[in-house]
Structure formats: C-alpha cells, structure tokens
Structure 1
Amino acid sequence: MERVPLPAPLTSHAQATAHLSLDPILAGVIARVGDLPVLTPTPDPFGTLIRNVTGQQLSVKAAASIHARLTGTLGEVSADTLLATSGDTLRGTGLSWAKVRTVQAIAQAAKTGAVNFAHLSEQDDETVIRELLPLPGIGRWTAEMFLMFALARPDVFSLGDLALRQGLARLHPDTPSAEVLSRWAPYRTLAARYVWADNARVKGGGEPV
C-alpha cells in the first residue's frame, strides 16, 4: 500500500486562519484573540514527552521547578540517566510515584526500541498514538497533546480535553461536534488553540495555546 504523505507542520497561519474564518463564530474568536505563535516540531521528542508527563496537572511554575530539579539531578534527561537513577531519587525531585513509573517506562521503551522516538515524526497521527498508549500513565489525551505541541501536527482536536469540549459546546451549542470539527479540518490544532485562548478570555485560566 502506498504511504500517504504526512501533513507538513504549518509555517504560517495565514491559510489556516482564512479557512477557519469561514466559520463566522470562530472568525470572531480569532479576531478577539489575535495572532498565535506558530508551533514547530521539537528536536527532542523523548525529552519533550518526559517534560510533558512531569508537568501534567501542575501549574506552569511548579512544572518548570520540577523539571529543573530533575535536570539538575540527572545532568541530562535521557533514557540512560533515567534508568540509572533510583525511584527514590526521582521521587525526591518532586515527581509522584505514578510519574516516576511513567518516566522510567518511557525510558525503558526508548532503550529497548519499543518506541522509536527518533522516527515518531515519520508516523501518522494514529500510529503515534498507538505507539504511546501502551506506556503506563500515557492516555490518548497525553498522546494528542504530544502530537499537537511536540510534533506540531496541524489537524488534532482532543475531545478528551474537558476545556475543549466545553468551549466547543459554548461556541456551537446547537451543532453536533463532529459537524463542527469536520468544517475546521485540516486545521483543527489551530482551532483548538483558539478555543483554549477564548476559554481563558471568558473564564480565566491558563490553558496552553
């Protein structure tokens, strides 16, 4: 079977915002929020996933503090250093035991090749999700955030994210979600970021954009 080319990360939002603005309600959100920075793929998918996991359910400040302590303890955040460090030491950086288990499982998967982080960027979205889901502590939401913010995939909208579901329902209360998301394709990542930003404007909060 011929492999379908992956969508390239966006280098500009001009075409995407023009398409999304065909939805007059989202056009209003875009006008209110203004320009958002263009996402670029990470050069270090492994390290980015570790940082994502260690920062989950924490404030930006707390997540940065824990990652700084983790880096200070390990010297370099890699599969080798994570596997060579005891759980107690990792716990001492501020990680919960559940996160200790997750980061060590990610490191083991990278070490054994169960997940080939160097080639994740070559896989389609659903393949990346399937690669990551067997890891303990990694659910579909985490995998979708990784696709959006680490791999800069342009067409991801996580219905597992409560804020996105609520924002979608607030903007389009009388239209089925599937219909709205179909209209927003193939730029649903940028649409999600505008929904997060509009949620923050309406209700306050710090959803990532």
Structure 2
Amino acid sequence: MASRRSARLASLVTNAAIVEPASPPAPSVASRKRKAATQAPATGETEKAPSTPRKRRTKGTDDVPETPTPAEVKLITEGAHTAKPRPAAVSRLADPNRTNAVLRSPKTSRIIASTAVEPIPSKLRDVIKSTVPATSATTTTTSLLEEACAHLIKVDARMKPLIDAHHCRIFSPEGLAEQVDPFEALCSSIISQQVSGAAAKTIKGRFIALFDPTSNSSSSSTTTTTTPSSEPAATADDVSASTPPFPRPDAVAATALETLRTAGLSQRKAEYIQGLATQFAAGELTGQLLADAPYEDVLARLTAVRGLGRWSVEMFACFALKRLDVFSTGDLGVQRGMAAFVGRDVARLKAKGGKWKYMGEREMEEVAERFRPYRSLFMWYMWRVLETDVSTMESWGW
C-alpha cells in the first residue's frame, strides 16, 4: 500500500510540472489601483499615472447643494430676453434706507417718481440705532458706492482687499441708472426657480413671445432689451425699437393658465405669475409702493404673494430695487463667504439639523449688524470672499 501511495504522489508531482497552474483570482479594482503606483508594467510600456480611487458616497459629505449667487439672480434685474442698453449715469439724491433704482410702472412703462429724499434728517433717522452712521443729506447716486465702501473699510479693515479686488457695479452710478420693471423682475424670479439659468432665459423668451405674435422664442432669448416707446428717447440708446417689451400685468392676468404653460412653465409657476399679475393689475401691488415703502413693508407684502419666498424677495430688494441695507442669512454662498471671512475652514461642508450650514443665522446677523446701513454691499462682497486671497485678512484677527 505504501508503494502505491508513493507512485501516486510521484505522478502528481510530474503532472504539476507539465500542467499550467490555474490563474489566481482577479484582484479587486481597489487593489489594482494601489499596485499601479508601485509596479511597472512587464511589457515595458509607459507607466500610466495612478488615478485617485472614487470615494465612497456617504451621508452628509455628498454633493454640495447648489448655492444661489449674484450670477444666478441676474435674470431678476435684466430684461434677459435682450441685452440692456447702457444708461448714462445721472446724479440724483440717494439713501441706503430707500429704493434707489429707477423703476418703470408695469402698467404704463413710465418712470416712477419716488418721494423726494428730505435734505434734512428724517423721522426715520431718529429711530435708527446710534451705532448706525447718519446718511449725508448730500448723498447722491454718484457718491453712494464710494461712501458705502468707505464705511465698510472703517468698520473692518479686512474689507479693503475685497473692495480693491472687486468693483460692485450694482450700486455704481451706472448700475443705479438702469431702469427696472418690478413686475418683470418678480416674474423672472418665479421663472428661474429650480431651473438652470439657460432654461430660465429660454422660458422667459417664450413667455414674452406669447404676447407678441411677431416675435419668436429663439430670438427673444438672444437679442437685447429696449426701453418701451413711451420712454424718453435718450434712454433707448442704439437698441432696436422692434424688440418686444415685457407683457403688462393686465394682459398676463387675462391669459388662460393653459396658454401660459405653453411657454414651458409648470402649472404652479403659471398660477404664481398669473396671481402676481392680478395683484399688479388690481393695484394691490404698485411700483410706487415698492419705490417708497420701508424695507420691512416690502418684505412683508411680497412674501405674502404665492411663489415668492423670503430669499427671492431679498434678492429682488437688493438687485432690482437697489436697496443698500438688505441682508440674507438663508443664502449658502453668503454663509460660506462669511465663515471664510472670519477665518474658518470651509473646505469641509457640515450639515446640522438636516440643513447645510457654514454659519448660524444669529451669528451672521451679529457680524452683519456692524455694517449697517450698507449690508447689501457687505453681502455682495461675502459672495466674493473665496475669490480673493484671504490669508492677509485672517492674519489681522477678528
């Protein structure tokens, strides 16, 4: 029996020398990537650079939610179906606590004459906190931005590198000379909700085309806007007079929802826009109200309109009405910029309570409070913080 076992073992050894051993199991993807950095190919081919393995998706560190930015609210202030003419800067009285935009009446397209700014301290200034600098009686649209920037730097010297690196055209003399149709700006805000900028622009062009049979949606989204024919000729510049204006509220209010939806609007957005148009047509909302009312009244009145949330109204007040003392704690870009501004590491996003947070609302308000009455400008620069080298700002301390 021992001889038989020996013969069998000898046979196995002989066959092992002849038969090719079975291939080992294929290594996992991760192990191949790790070995690629240390093992050169046996064929002599050029070694490929190792690639970073794809990270495992984990809750809380996944895709960062989209952040509203000034670029994304551009449709609110522009007649986005057309490129706006560049108006000449005209010096007029200005006040950071009031609407400083040149508003057009949605019903008549005429310029709205806001109540004149008093040349002496107003009752409004008497109730402002003593820490807030009084606005000069000679503040004009020409000097407003310069005065605001000087105040921001005086409050915190770390603002100077940001101000030197970025020019805020919104509140510049040229920006304050632009004419804004508040109905168009609010409709644009509704149209742009939860869609890309390109999609919003296309939908807006189709919406305008519904009320002008001679136009078409493709040309509406790429041509430039013009001031309606009722406007002074000096503001029309070289823009073609054939460009269709934004429809008036009464026309939109009288249009069936099914027709409005053919522009690409959802059922809810069509309802929101029609409801907004009805309020403008009935005089419940007016350009005069938006020009003269205190910011708190504007905020309360517009957030009561279906389809307009707090963030949308804040952006409208800042970018369309050109109010200088608006501050949004709900904007992720502002949160992130402020966190970086005060010297925090924002490279790693943290979620608290199911919401993306870089900084708490109360702390944001405390920081921004010192920059009254120019918090809109401060907010605009917080969007720009991560575009600027903040190492020097951090070294100055808070």
Give TM-score scaled by structure 1 length: 0.83
Distance 1:130 1:80, change over 3 A: same
**Structure possessing the higher radius of gyration over alpha carbons:** 2
CA contact under 8 A between 1:45 and 1:118: conserved in structure 2? Answer: no
CA distance in 1, matches of 2:209, 2:188: 14
| Comparing 64-73 and 20-29, the one that deviates more | 20-29
Aligned to 1:205: none
Letter in 1 for 2:164: A
Aligned to 1:45: 182
CA contact under 8 A between 2:162 and 2:385: conserved in structure 1? Answer: yes
Q: How does 1:57-136 map to 2 (within 5 A)?
A: 57-75=194-212, 76-136=246-306
CA contact under 8 A between 1:9 and 1:152: conserved in structure 2? Answer: no
CA contact under 8 A between 2:329 and 2:364: conserved in structure 1? Answer: no
- Larger helix share, 1 or 2: 1
> Secondary structure in 2 aligned to 1:74?
coil
Give TM-score scaled by structure 2 length: 0.46
CA distance in 2, matches of 1:194, 1:57: 25
Letter in 2 for 1:36: C
State the Cα distance separating 1:10 from its structure 2 match.
4.6
Aligned to 2:4: none
Is 1:30 the counterpart of 2:217 in the alignment? no
CA distance in 2, matches of 1:53, 1:9: 32
State the Cα distance separating 1:102 from its structure 2 match.
1.1
Aligned to 2:47: none
CA contact under 8 A between 2:253 and 2:281: conserved in structure 1? Answer: no
Aligned to 1:15: 147
2:367 aligned residue (177, 180, 184): 180
Deviation string, structure 1 residues 146-203 (Cα, Å, up to 9, x no partner): 111111001111112121122112212579323321221111111111122334x37x
State the Cα distance separating 1:17 from its structure 2 match.
1.2
State the Cα distance separating 1:129 from its structure 2 match.
0.9
CA distance in 2, matches of 1:30, 1:77: 38
Letter in 1 for 2:208: T
Letter in 2 for 1:20: L
CA contact under 8 A between 1:45 and 1:117: conserved in structure 2? Answer: yes
| Comparing 85-94 and 21-30, the one that deviates more | 21-30
Aligned to 1:163: 333
Letter in 2 for 1:27: K
Letter in 2 for 1:88: E
CA distance in 2, matches of 1:130, 1:31: 35
State the Cα distance separating 1:42 from its structure 2 match.
4.1
State the Cα distance separating 1:124 from its structure 2 match.
0.7
CA distance in 2, matches of 1:142, 1:178: 19
CA distance in 2, matches of 1:172, 1:51: 34
CA distance in 2, matches of 1:134, 1:55: 19
Deviation string, structure 1 residues 16-36 (Cα, Å, up to 9, x no partner): 11111231332222233x212
Aligned to 1:4: 124
State the Cα distance separating 1:9 from its structure 2 match.
7.8
CA distance in 1, matches of 2:283, 2:364: 37
CA distance in 2, matches of 1:59, 1:139: 18
- Structure 1 unpaired stretches of 5+: 203-209
Q: CA RMSD, aligned part only?
A: 2.5
Matched residues, percent identical? 33
Aligned to 2:193: 56
CA distance in 2, matches of 1:9, 1:190: 16
Distance 1:21 1:77, change over 3 A: same
| Comparing 45-54 and 120-129, the one that deviates more | 45-54
> Secondary structure in 2 aligned to 1:145?
helix
Letter in 1 for 2:364: S
Aligned to 2:349: none
CA distance in 2, matches of 1:53, 1:92: 16
- Structure 2 unpaired stretches of 5+: 1-121, 126-134, 213-245, 345-358, 389-398
State the Cα distance separating 1:70 from its structure 2 match.
0.7
1:197 aligned residue (384, 387, 398): 384
Letter in 2 for 1:126: E
CA contact under 8 A between 1:148 and 1:156: conserved in structure 2? Answer: yes
Distance 1:3 1:146, change over 3 A: farther
Distance 1:129 1:97, change over 3 A: same
CA distance in 1, matches of 2:332, 2:151: 25
Distance 1:9 1:53, change over 3 A: farther
Aligned to 1:206: none
